[in-house]
Amino acid sequence: MTDATEALIVIDVQVDFCPGGALAVAGGDEIVPRINALMQEFPVTVLTQDWHPEDHASFADNHPGAAPFSQVEMPYGPQTLWPAHCIWGSPGAAFHPKLAIDPADLIIRKGFRSQIDSYSAFFENDHTTPTGLAGYLRERGITDLTFVGLALDFCVAWSAMDAAKLGFNARVLEGACRAIDLNGSLAAARDAMRAAGVTLAQ
């Protein structure tokens, strides 16, 4: 068992991000057994869940003529347009069926505001609208966070970097993550995480 000030943050291990899903990450399902085992080692576990309305602004389908994985400018900055995924209440938005949900202390949903995407577990993509997770962790006395899940180069990386900026000790277990690696995004995310003070481990 780890120290009482540590928490495991499990990012978006959902059906749509696993093989066969709408925005599948290669090998996304392979990390589930390790994550389930890690939950037994941490006193606090938080699960995040991507949770989008059908009219979400990050969906390519909602931008006539736009191709998936292209970029547009939003009021908060550049936005990658994704295939529609994790639509709230849909089978694809559900957690992977083999992910242990019962040990979770908290499930936090993100991306439910139709006009702004939300990669990080802590903030919407405007970097200012909070999810409330930081306050929850601080009230629990948590100082050290370990991140696992999907996808390493987007939601995991953004979450870990925000955690570091908020003053938490942030660590990413790459062996319990999988990446999309879109146009070099994995290497860029690793560099950005290291620069932000995030520890990368296997």
Strands (E), the chain: 6-11, 44-50, 71-74, 77-80, 106-110, 144-150, 169-178, 199-201
Distance CA 82, CA 65 (A): 13
Clarify whether 98 is annotated catalytic.
no
User: Which of 110, 117, 162, 177 is flagged as catalytic?
Assistant: 110
Measured CA distances, 127 to 76, 161, 173, 201, 202 (Å): 8, 11, 24, 26, 28
- C-beta of residue 51 within 8 angstroms of C-beta of residue 40: no
User: Which ranges of the chain does DSSP label H, i.e. alpha helix?
Assistant: 32-39, 133-139, 157-165, 185-196
- For 39, list phi and psi in degrees, rounded to 5: -60, -30
Which residue has 């505001």 as its token pair? Answer: 113
Q: How far is CA 2 from the centre of its chain?
A: 22
Clarify whether 177 is annotated catalytic.
no
User: Which of 12, 16, 117, 162 is flagged as catalytic?
Assistant: 12
User: Which of 18, 50, 153, 155 is flagged as catalytic?
Assistant: 155
Active site residues: 12, 110, 155
